[in-house]
Structure 1
Amino acid sequence: MPTSPRTRRRQPRQARARATVDILVTATFQILDRLAAKGRPASEATTTLIAARAGVSIGTLYQYFPDRAALIAAVIDRECDRLLADVDGVLSGNGAAEPDRLIEHLARRLISPGRLPPALHRMLTAEAARPETATRAGATGIALDARLQALATAHGLPPDRAAIAGRTTRLLLQALAHQDVLPAPVASDQACRLVRGILTG
């Protein structure tokens, strides 16, 4: 989903411009990751730092993004796209599998330590609550709820219970990704059991 006009100065049309935007978003992601790991706030990701990390001038940065908030919004946009692509990849890649197997694959993929470090996940979740990003983050949550609801329905839950199960599962997976519920060494197996219990009733 494209970034909204409020958060992007110029939409890249040529390959070189698109590459520049991608480099800037990647540099922002890397700086946020480093700050999160040190327990520092996202506000320390200045446009000067981001431009230097990306290897572009500050003027080039401002051609595409008006400020740090716009860059962080672009990072969140990209991570939302990747999250839904992860989910759809699991579901399409295991389309013939039993719902139990799909649930296990999905739970393991979404809480995988290789997806996002917990500290960065917490930071991006907090940033996603801001007005300029809340709409996109909310839409992604709704889309993920729908996919999880479909899994619960496939397992035989009635529509009202499946809807509740889908949302509950998404919130649980978010907490697991933050490592707020279980520590990393035990999260995967126990998460699968928790998720399976919710989605199967």
Structure 2
Amino acid sequence: MGLTIYGIAASRAVRPLWAATELGLQFEHVPTPYQHGGTRTAEFLALNPNGHIPVLVDRRPDGEVVLWESMACTLYIARHHGKGDGTDLAPANAHEDAEALRWSFWTVNALEADALTVLMHRLAMPPEQRKAHLAEAAEKRLHVPLRVLEQHLQRQAARGQEHLAAARFTVADLCTASVLGWTKPARDLLESFPATQAWLARCLERPAQQAMRALARQQH
């Protein structure tokens, strides 16, 4: 019995790690880097033949579950380890579950590639390797999906709700913020969408996310 998450916080593995930390779960974290062959051992490839992190292993009374893909791992943790009663990040009803699925898939399809380009070419890569024109093009493209997110957050605010799926922070917020946070170096971009900028700040200021940032620095 028990939950194990393979990966490092300075990667997409931060998503399930953040979710498990938000829920206060007892779990084993195996810091598996994506560099230097860490995901190419026979043991790891037996868990994920793609050779990518994260991997989640959940040893349950009805059998062992092995799951990869960061968004899938995160949604699984929320659904199967959260209370589901409206007191934590787990969906409490069909509406919240639908919102979690919608915004997570939307994030992968509409945000992730361009947000990663911004992160790499504004901050993560050595200065001599950055290409400003790639970051600028990505930021321009991001205006389209961010208008969608901004409008949704404005509608939520009109209902007295400060988050994507409910009045409280849920896995929908976690999955989306885990990617949109990569755009923080593009200050002008975020300032164009004030509701989105304020929502992102609330998500990233959460203690569990702060713990993930500290862990990422340790594992870097």
> Which TM class, normalised by the smaller chain length?
0.3 to 0.5
Relative to total residues, which structure has the larger helix share, 1 or 2? 1
The structure with the largest strand share of the pair is 2
Return the TM-score normalized by structure 2. Answer: 0.32
TM-score between the two structures when normalised by the length of structure 1? 0.34
Is the radius of gyration larger for structure 1 or structure 2?
Answer: 1
